[in-house]
Amino acid sequence: MEAYFASRNDLILQDRSSRLDAYQLKQVSDVEKEADDIVRTIRTVEANSVWGVNKTTIFDYSPDDNSPNVFPGMAFLTARDIAVHTKVFHIMSKMPKGALLHAHLFATVRARKLLEIALTQPAIYIRTTTRLTPSSIKATLPLFKALPFAQRTNLTSLTDDAYIPGEFVPIRAARDNFDVSLGGPRGFDDWVISCMEINPSEAYGTHNTTAKIWAKFTSTFKVNEPLCFHMPIWKAYVKQFFLSSVEDGISYVEPRLSFWQKFCSGEDGESNIPHREWLMAYDGVIKEVKEDLKRQGRENAFVGSRVIYSTMRTDSPEQLEWYLEDCLALKQEFPHLIAGFDLIGHEDSLRPLIEYIKPLTTFQERQKELGLDIPFIFHAGETLGDGTAADMNLYDAILLGTKRIGHGFSLVKHPKLMEICKEKKIALEVCPISNEVLRLTTSIPMHPLAIMINHGLPVVLSSDDPAAWGSTGMTYDFYQVLVSSEVSGLITMGELARDSLKYSCLDDDEKQHALAAYNEQWSKFVEWVVKEYGTNLNKPARLN
Amino acid sequence: MEAYFASRNDLILQDRSSRLDAYQLKQVSDVEKEADDIVRTIRTVEANSVWGVNKTTIFDYSPDDNSPNVFPGMAFLTARDIAVHTKVFHIMSKMPKGALLHAHLFATVRARKLLEIALTQPAIYIRTTTRLTPSSIKATLPLFKALPFAQRTNLTSLTDDAYIPGEFVPIRAARDNFDVSLGGPRGFDDWVISCMEINPSEAYGTHNTTAKIWAKFTSTFKVNEPLCFHMPIWKAYVKQFFLSSVEDGISYVEPRLSFWQKFCSGEDGESNIPHREWLMAYDGVIKEVKEDLKRQGRENAFVGSRVIYSTMRTDSPEQLEWYLEDCLALKQEFPHLIAGFDLIGHEDSLRPLIEYIKPLTTFQERQKELGLDIPFIFHAGETLGDGTAADMNLYDAILLGTKRIGHGFSLVKHPKLMEICKEKKIALEVCPISNEVLRLTTSIPMHPLAIMINHGLPVVLSSDDPAAWGSTGMTYDFYQVLVSSEVSGLITMGELARDSLKYSCLDDDEKQHALAAYNEQWSKFVEWVVKEYGTNLNKPARLN
């Protein structure tokens, strides 16, 4: 029997030897070990007390059972309100997260905040194409636009009888005078926000397929883009993104910024602000936030930001050429701001990478000519397909030398590509909640992340488009991952965070600095865990 | 560009080189190739025409969209009625399937058929513990029992006012006199069947977690076991299982037979029929079916059957010892009928293998003493867990030398165990529809099967408990798998079927014979596909 258990332990160790936490687990400090143990204990307790694991047994069948279907790692949009009150969530909210490497910039700030910003902008107008009534409102989208002075109206309501569908109303007036039958100003907010967010009845009911939920998801961008691409909002949004990231323990952000629209509207609603001015503004906001934090003595809380130049997979290869040249020009002017290049949009239905091989390889040659280095950081394999064009994007992303892979959800179906990713340290930017809300998986225990981690694939966690699911930051992603495994623990979460800095596009020097700052934050954090939860595991979670 | 495409093709080939169809794809005959192409074409056409792939684009959002959420490989209980009318289904129904290696014997025959058999049995009585009314019927289970003459009643109704809950009524009378307010005799059938089957509103609504749906699943056995373990029904059931398997193109079956109950009731409702008499009866049914088929000139359609001795994971290690000795004795008496040994029941909540190491290793020593060979064929890893006891069962199953693994759903999380399974040819008995209905996955594209196949893990497809989801045979499993991949095709399905014979517990001679018979069936089948569908891909599917 002893021999059996010895060989069993040996087998388990071998099986887990390539995990990202294998090395760290051999050299943890006492306090790290204690914090990890504490979190495992709390997780087990909450699995029962909060998530009802072990509550029903297989002998407890009740045909008229109407109890909620809850479990750890369950669908986010219904789990959120439960998760937020747990101790594990509280701990994750305090954990330093390292870098956010996969997020679409204009889906990172809560819709309510965006609306709040938009309401301060005199150029922002709103219209609808059908008359709003209590019965039509659910199916009607708010259409925003920044208007030049000449086109501005002084209409006062979107909902009174005099309103002619299609006419623009100033956003502030539209809100103030929103009909009481539609909920008044608060009804206006709820309506607009519901069109910028995916709600559970859509994700898990009416639009419960990847194709249908992507249609809803795309429509949220139709609603918020006219706001985000108005320069005064643009700047305020970016600042809010940085601040909320810092608040969540994220010290560096590398968002995808879509340059597909060639211009933002200026404050006057008239002028066209070109891409280079976007980056000047971006640079300005970074400096502002850094200075603010420095004044507060928190300069290590934010080491900065770079953007991944992104454009849409809707364009033809010929149309793409303009963007590639644009990207080269921007990299020349802002070498410290352009981290890489990507193509974005729904992989299952838009053009696969293989259609763009020619312009993309030309792009690489042009970089050599110009002495630039703009790594590809491609979305690939964000699909349930096995051998579909979206799944095959993985071959092209890797053959084109991608530095990381956005999602790589289907990568675990490709043994040879897994080998290459491990060898070449091509990290997967895994977005667990995004994949779940967008219906590639229906819960985190069903997500391939555990497969990726156990196989030693380089992995980082990301939030993708948290605003679209009413969230911000990465706490929820870490939470969902932590409660969905019995192998991973706090040490694992720390390694995931550290790896996000390692696989970022920071320069070597910056990276060393960021990692040193991270290690300091981490030490304080594990000490806090022990102090806060070590002595009394049973005290209630502090609400955030 | 040419060089790019050459290295791309090379990479794809490498990536797919360990798939089970890799060798076969290099040497297919013209007719196999043609049949495979035909099926791929039909699959693509039906993906659109039947499953609506490409119907909605990401630009087609409609907030009041109430169209059904359909896609290829979607949840079985709602897909079934659509799938059955497709050409791909028609083709799969005609395909020779080889061996069925993972099925629980008394969940293989449709509930309606079982009820039909039960209704002919004078010893079978039924009762309920609460009064049946239109509002209570949904939450009340029918409780069957075989009664000895002395206890039989001549009550005539389960539903009239005179019925006292708990009293036994003859099944036939209970059906005949079932109250009209409850639907009369057809209402009786519907009620009984609904308690033996999982319905979509349970699996996908009220009981939509693995724990809750297992409670329902377990209750179906509570209803049907008192019927199945009545010897006259037992025999008729086994015969029906063989016949429906043959009808579905399955030529060999190796079901789990639960010996947990020590006795069946005899025809008189009184006598206790011990395990050895079960196997004598089993042997008799095999002979009967073989002789029938021989008379019809179809002897190759059924090469026979063996059972995997199974008992429950509910018992203590001490209790298990009795069953292990029982299994040894049965193997000595019926060496040609006992294929292996397994422990069954819900892995997530019942005892893990590690609790049984001692009796199980003793069992292996006892086999050596007695000169027997009873391979373990353990259920393991039928779980969403990552590092839970159910997931850890995989380590023990493998360390104990399991010949195959029942499910192995979580095996893809274990790189070292995958290596061992490939090396030692430990086949996974994958049950796609079972895993989906029992909520380990919510559709087949989310199932790890594609990962298993692409990584070259030995895999066979199985049906597990088709009766519990209103099905029988393996056609639906093959259908769901075939429509959920663009890599796998008809050739792959043929290899899966062939492998099921290879990984069976047939003797070498029998295996050679079975494989030769299979190859003959396969040749006829691919010719049929070409003849039936080759000339006119657009003709409508023939309904079955």
Residue A80 structure tokens? 């959120």
Q: Distance between CA B132 and CA B153 in Å, rounded?
A: 19
Q: Is the pLDDT of residue A153 over 60?
A: yes
**Does residue B32 belong to any structural domain of this protein?**
no
Q: What is the CA radius of gyration of chain A?
A: 24
User: Is residue A459 domain-shared with residue A362, that is, in the same domain?
Assistant: yes
Structure confidence by residue, pLDDT tens digits, B93-125:
999 999 999 999 999 999 999 999 999 999 999
Structure confidence by residue, pLDDT tens digits, B352-390:
999 999 999 999 999 999 999 999 999 999 999 999 999
Average pLDDT over residues A168-173: 98
Residue A422 structure tokens? 């491990």
Residue B394 structure tokens? 């995989």
Contact flag A485-B56 (C-beta cutoff 8 Å): no
Cα distance from A76 to chain B (closest Cα, Å)? 15
Q: Is the pLDDT of residue B24 over 60?
A: yes
Which residues in chain A have Cβ-Cβ distances shorter than 8 Å to B217? 58
User: Is residue B248 domain-shared with residue B395, that is, in the same domain?
Assistant: yes
Average pLDDT over residues A444-455: 98
Please state the ipTM of this predicted complex: 0.96
Q: Which of B1, B18, B141 sits opposite A357 (nearest CB)?
A: B1
Structure confidence by residue, pLDDT tens digits, B139-152:
999 999 999 999 99
User: Is residue A144 domain-shared with residue A247, that is, in the same domain?
Assistant: no
Q: What is the mean pLDDT of chain B?
A: 96
User: Is residue B307 domain-shared with residue B186, that is, in the same domain?
Assistant: no
Structure confidence by residue, pLDDT tens digits, A183-212:
999 999 999 999 999 999 999 999 999 999
Contact flag A214-B58 (C-beta cutoff 8 Å): yes
**Does residue B28 belong to any structural domain of this protein?**
no
Q: Is the pLDDT of residue A541 over 60?
A: no
**Does residue B483 belong to any structural domain of this protein?**
yes
User: Is residue B257 domain-shared with residue B162, that is, in the same domain?
Assistant: no
Q: Which residues span the domain enclosing B297? A: 92-104+238-526
Q: Distance between CA B378 and CA B395 in Å, rounded?
A: 11
Which residues in chain A have Cβ-Cβ distances shorter than 8 Å to B207? 65, 69
Question: Crossing angle for the helix pair A30-49 and A87-94, nearest 10 degrees?
Answer: 140
**Does residue A532 belong to any structural domain of this protein?**
no
User: Is residue B183 domain-shared with residue B332, that is, in the same domain?
Assistant: no
Q: Distance between CA A81 and CA A86 in Å, rounded?
A: 10
C-beta contacts of A277-283 below 8 A and 24+ residues apart: A277/A231, A278/A234, A279/A307, A279/A330, A279/A333, A279/A334, A279/A337, A279/A338, A281/A231, A281/A234, A281/A235, A281/A238, A282/A238, A282/A257, A282/A307, A282/A337, A283/A334, A283/A337
- CA–CA–CA angle B40, B31, B21 (5° rounding): 60
User: Is residue A157 domain-shared with residue A301, that is, in the same domain?
Assistant: no
Residue A498 structure tokens? 């550290």
Q: Is the pLDDT of residue A543 over 60?
A: no
Chain A residue with CA closest to B486: the answer is A387
Structure confidence by residue, pLDDT tens digits, B177-232:
999 999 999 999 999 999 999 999 999 999 999 999 999 999 999 999 999 999 99
Structure confidence by residue, pLDDT tens digits, A465-498:
999 999 999 999 999 999 999 999 999 999 999 9
**What CATH number should be reported for the domain holding residue B340?**
3.20.20.140
- Please name which of A363, A368, A420 lies closest in space to residue A394, comparing C-alpha atoms: A420
Which residues in chain A have Cβ-Cβ distances shorter than 8 Å to B65? 206-207, 212
Residue B500 structure tokens? 């099921």
Contact flag A415-B56 (C-beta cutoff 8 Å): no
Best residue in A15, A17, A398 for a mutation probing chain B (most B CBs within 10 Å): A15
Write out the DSSP string of B77-145: HHHHHHHTTSHHHHHHHHS--EEE-SBBGGGSS-HHHHHHHHTT-TTEEEE-SS---TTTGGG---EEE
Which residues in chain A have Cβ-Cβ distances shorter than 8 Å to B7? 399
Q: Is the dihedral angle over the CA atoms A524, A527, A529, A531 positive or is it negative?
A: negative
User: Is residue A173 domain-shared with residue A231, that is, in the same domain?
Assistant: no
User: Is residue B472 domain-shared with residue B509, that is, in the same domain?
Assistant: yes
The total of structural domains in chain B comes to 2
Q: Which of B7, B8, B416 sits opposite A15 (nearest CB)?
A: B416
- Residue-level pLDDT at B53: 87
- Residue-level pLDDT at B538: 53
Residue B421 structure tokens? 């399974």
Best residue in B15, B55, B58, B357 for a mutation probing chain A (most A CBs within 10 Å): B58
User: Is residue A372 domain-shared with residue A281, that is, in the same domain?
Assistant: yes
Cα distance from B238 to chain A (closest Cα, Å)? 26
Cα distance from B396 to chain A (closest Cα, Å)? 8
Cα distance from B102 to chain A (closest Cα, Å)? 21
**Does residue B321 belong to any structural domain of this protein?**
yes
Structure confidence by residue, pLDDT tens digits, A275-297:
999 999 999 999 999 999 999 99
Contact flag B415-A215 (C-beta cutoff 8 Å): no
Q: Distance between CA B226 and CA B115 in Å, rounded?
A: 12
User: Is residue B179 domain-shared with residue B248, that is, in the same domain?
Assistant: no
Q: Which of B212, B384, B443 sits opposite A56 (nearest CB)?
A: B212
**Does residue B301 belong to any structural domain of this protein?**
yes
**Does residue B350 belong to any structural domain of this protein?**
yes
Cα distance from A469 to chain B (closest Cα, Å)? 16
In sequence order, what are the residues at sequence separation of 6 or more whose Cβ sits closer than 8 angstroms to the Cβ of residue B295? none
B130 φ/ψ angles, rounded to the nearest 5 degrees:
-130, 160
Contact flag A445-B357 (C-beta cutoff 8 Å): no
Q: Which of B70, B345, B386 sits opposite A486 (nearest CB)?
A: B386
Q: Is the pLDDT of residue B20 over 80?
A: yes
Structure confidence by residue, pLDDT tens digits, A91-148:
999 999 999 999 999 999 999 999 999 999 999 999 999 999 999 999 999 999 999 9
User: Is residue A250 domain-shared with residue A313, that is, in the same domain?
Assistant: yes
DSSP code at position A299: G
Chain A residue with CA closest to B393: the answer is A8
Q: Distance between CA B305 and CA B238 in Å, rounded?
A: 11
Q: Distance between CA A333 and CA A7 in Å, rounded?
A: 59
Q: Contact A116/A236 with Cβ under 8 angstroms?
A: no
User: What is the pLDDT confidence band of residue A62, given thresholds at 50, 70 and 90?
Assistant: confident
Cα distance from A264 to chain B (closest Cα, Å)? 22
Which residues in chain A have Cβ-Cβ distances shorter than 8 Å to B132? none
Which residues in chain B have Cβ-Cβ distances shorter than 8 Å to A66? 206
Enumerate the H helices of B121-274 as residue ranges. Answer: 171-176, 184-196, 200-201, 210-228, 231-247
**Does residue A385 belong to any structural domain of this protein?**
yes
